[in-house]
Structure 1
Amino acid sequence: MKKTIAIDMDNVLVDIEINWIDKYEEAYGIRISKEAMRGIPEDAAFPDPVAARELVYQPGFFLNAPIMDGAYEALIALQERYDIYIVSAAMEFPNSLKEKHDWLAKHLPFISWRNIVLCGDKSIIGTDLLIDDHVKNLDPFKGESILFTAGHNIHIDRHTRVNNWAEVLDLLLPESVIK
């Protein structure tokens, strides 16, 4: 029987940081760097955090975000050994539920609808592993927790950390040739 992995979307499969930077520049003509997001909450990095937060509520914010480098190939490789579940907190932002569903259909069409969990609270997840960028999801998790690096979590050291999908493969499929 295969082990199970729950994989978060935002800042793990989906490059929300770069998407937010692009959307802010498009709306306000000001570009910040990804480095500006290091060590602080994502919206706090922008000159106007309230305006930045409002962008998350705009139609298309989640749907049009880019996939993280290496994520597609890594999930293809991981599904040989693991049952993969995409798990995302999609209830906070009104547009995100449908947009996240549609994003997955576009970017990861090989993931069955049966393996997609769009929820409000990830504490219900009971997989063997969880890959996420937020400790609020990892801390209560009862299985093996893997912290995917994002700007807001760089100072956290209480979970196994990976910086990219190549490191996920090194950790979970050390013999893999896809890196």
Structure 2
Amino acid sequence: MTRIAIDMDEVIADFNSKLLPHINTRFNTHITLADLNGLTIQQLRPDIKEQIEAMIGEVDFFADLAVIPDSQRVIEKLTQKHEVLITTAAMEFPLSFDAKFRWLAAHFPFISPMNIVFCGNKSILNADYLIDDNARHFAHFRGEGILFSAPHNQNVTGFRRVNSWQEIDALFASDELLS
């Protein structure tokens, strides 16, 4: 059975739709998604990097993120033919564990808690595919990395890229990956 590991933030959880309004309100800025083209918010605004990371690290920051469109439907469909793991590099923000776990239970109840992986370095994952918005996680990953488009990774090349969950659905339905 094919094993598919799927990142959480900016892949199934819409991190930026909460982050940008919070940053704009808290720091009286007017940052848009377009401003993040090729950059993380910390790279765009290194002058407030520590405050941004403290805000992201707050206990409930991840509790109410919006769901990326079609991710629930496609992931549930993938679980019917494949083993699916949800993986998140939660070690960067350790206070996020509880909020992320509750969020996954509320929005992806068909994913067993035994298939949720909180980690730091994703090279420990034993999967055939890793769908992630951060190409750094592919460096030592033994399977194939599939880059999920996000504003910060628009200039990243060298990996199979998908722009939506519809594309992931079509990719796995075509058996192109599995042959």
> Aligned pair 1:155/2:133, yes or no?
no
Give 3-state SS (helix, strand or coil) of 1:95's partner. helix
Paired amino acid for 2:147: L
2:58/2:96 contact within 8 Å kept: no
TM-score between the two structures when normalised by the length of structure 2? 0.89
Aligned residue number for residue 34 of structure 1: 33
**CA apart distance, 1:30:** 3.1
Runs of 4+ aligned structure 1 residues displaced above 2 Å come to 25-31, 41-54
Aligned-residue offset at 1:139? 2.1
Q: Which amino acid in structure 1 is aligned with residue 71 of structure 2?
A: A
In structure 2, what is the equivalent of residue 60 of structure 1? 60
Structure 2: gaps spanning 5 or more residues = none
What amino acid sits opposite 1:76 in the alignment?
E
SS at match of 1:91: helix
SS in 2 for 1:120: coil
Q: How does 1:9-158 map to 2 (within 5 A)?
A: 9-46=8-45, 48-158=48-158
Stretch of structure 1 that moved more, 23-32 or 88-97: 23-32
Cα distance, 1:159 vs structure 2: 0.7
2-structure distance, mates of 1:172, 1:120 = 27
User: Does the Cα contact within 8 Å between 1:4 and 1:83 map onto a contact in 2?
Assistant: yes
* Identity rate, percent: 33
Instruction: Give me the whole-angstrom Cα distance separating, in 2, the residues matched to 1:43 and 1:27.
Output: 15
State which drifts further: 92-101 or 116-125. Answer: 92-101
Counterpart CA distance in 2 for 1:171 and 1:31 is 37
Instruction: Tell me the number of residue pairs that the alignment of Structure 1 and Structure 2 aligns.
Output: 174
2:5 counterpart residue number = 6
Counterparts of 1:71 and 1:26, CA distance in 2? 29
Whether the 8 Å contact between 1:5 and 1:129 is mirrored in structure 2 is: yes
Distance (whole Å) between structure 2 residues aligned to residue 158 and residue 165 of structure 1: 20
TM value normalised by structure 1? 0.89
1:170 maps to what in 2?
170
In 1: Cα distance, 2:124 partner to 2:80 partner? 25
| Cα gap change, 1:53 to 1:84, in 2 (>3 Å) | same
